Amino acid sequence: MRKIKKQVVLITTLIFIFCGFSFGQGTRYTGSYTPSGAITWNGISNKEISGLSFTNIGRTNIELWECSNITIKNCKFSKSAFKAISVENSKGLIIEDCVFDSIDGIYAQGYGNNPFNGGTCSGIKILHNYFKNTIGNNKKNHSVQFMGVNGGGRNQINNNSFEQIHGQSNVDDMVSLYASYGVLGDSIEVNNNWLRGGDYSTGSGIMTGDNGGSYAVVRGNIICNIVATGIGNAGGNNIKIENNICYQDVALAEKSSSGIFITNFTSTTTDCSSNTIRNNRVYYAQPNGSFLNYENGANCGSIAGWNTNITDPTLNASILPANIAKAKGVVTETDPTSSSVNYKIFPNPVFGQSIIITSENPGNEKISIYNLNGQTVVEKSINTNRTEINTSNLVTGIYVITISKDNAILEVRKIRV
């Protein structure tokens, strides 16, 4: 019987790890950015902001008021104590493949007395972004906060990575669902995110049900050494916390905090019933060397699945890779060095057996081709005006080409074979 139990635990562990690593957390963008000033839109629809950088801006970088169907992608926000993106009473917003470095994060809020969009934010999707060192003008900064983001449009915070380097952030909750209400069949999703690092000021990794809330799913997240509580439900109903992994090393534990907890902090005003916490794996050390893996405040009624949660002493910091900035399979972004050489790469897409690289003044540059697993599949020197590379052995797919000289990247291109 013990052998069978061990096999089940091992299989379950592998499933969790595979689920967490297979989605590809972090930004997928590998291109460059164009500097921009702050942007404020009011009542704008069907627009896109892409490929911009916002640095050292003394106000909120992007503000959206009563907007709809806006996409913000492939942008970088850095070095500001103000919010990167503030969204109020808007719908149909996508924020994807962006970098947030040393800045306050994303704030999405609905005002109940505003008739636009029914007084809510809805259809908010935050996907494949990288958040590093969330800071701000006070101690209540968040990497992502939903406040009054309510049912409709499949609200999502999925496949992002969050990293707080000790002593360089003053984040509260990295992900906060504050008074945000999904609906039956359309829960707010916080799925498949990676969170690592924190400080004594950190509130939690993922907090739901804060001042109420309902119908949220927190699934498949991996949380490592964030100092504070891993995942919490502070007073919401119909919230599912399932299939997550939380680990805290005793050497990094600065304060007593639990891996996963449920407690209704606003018991006189909010409903904290019909919740599920199941199939999680936790090993959460305290400063004194003890462990507080799961904590039930006993004021939210019966918790479905509570006995299915596992305390797993085999967990360690290797549950996350060293680099969590980029989605798996994306070559790390490199800013090309300016070059006077004009390179042409053709055909693209590649339909034959080879590609041609031409250049006016070749100088023994090196061309490297990478697959989307980051593996080098071709390397060759450019010594003539016309270089031919055999691609017959490459499987169908997307590849990244870099042209470099003396360890400096001169060109970055993508080709389809």
Position 409 scores a pLDDT of 67
Tokens of 101: 């470095």
What is the count of structural domains for the chain? 2
Residue 152, SS3? coil
Residue 112 lies in a domain: yes
Tokens of 412: 């970055």
Please check whether residues 20 and 118 belong to one and the same domain. yes
Please check whether residues 137 and 219 belong to one and the same domain. yes
346 by Cβ neighbours in 10 Å (0-12 / 13-18 / 19+) ranks as exposed
Please check whether residues 184 and 300 belong to one and the same domain. yes
Residue 326 lies in a domain: no
Region label for 115, one of left (φ > 0), alpha (ψ between -120 and 50) or beta (otherwise):
alpha
CATH number for the domain harbouring residue 357: 2.60.40.1930
Residue 381 lies in a domain: yes
β-pair type (408-416, 398-405) = antiparallel
Please check whether residues 260 and 388 belong to one and the same domain. no
Position 1 scores a pLDDT of 39
Please check whether residues 177 and 280 belong to one and the same domain. yes
Query: What domain range includes position 9?
Result: 2-319
Mean pLDDT by 10 residues, the chain (417 residues): 38 39 74 93 96 94 96 96 94 97 95 76 96 84 94 92 90 94 95 92 92 96 93 97 95 86 94 97 92 95 96 93 79 49 80 83 81 76 87 83 75 78
Position 293 scores a pLDDT of 95
Position 45 scores a pLDDT of 97
Position 347 scores a pLDDT of 87
Please check whether residues 210 and 301 belong to one and the same domain. yes
Please check whether residues 98 and 236 belong to one and the same domain. yes
Position 329 scores a pLDDT of 57
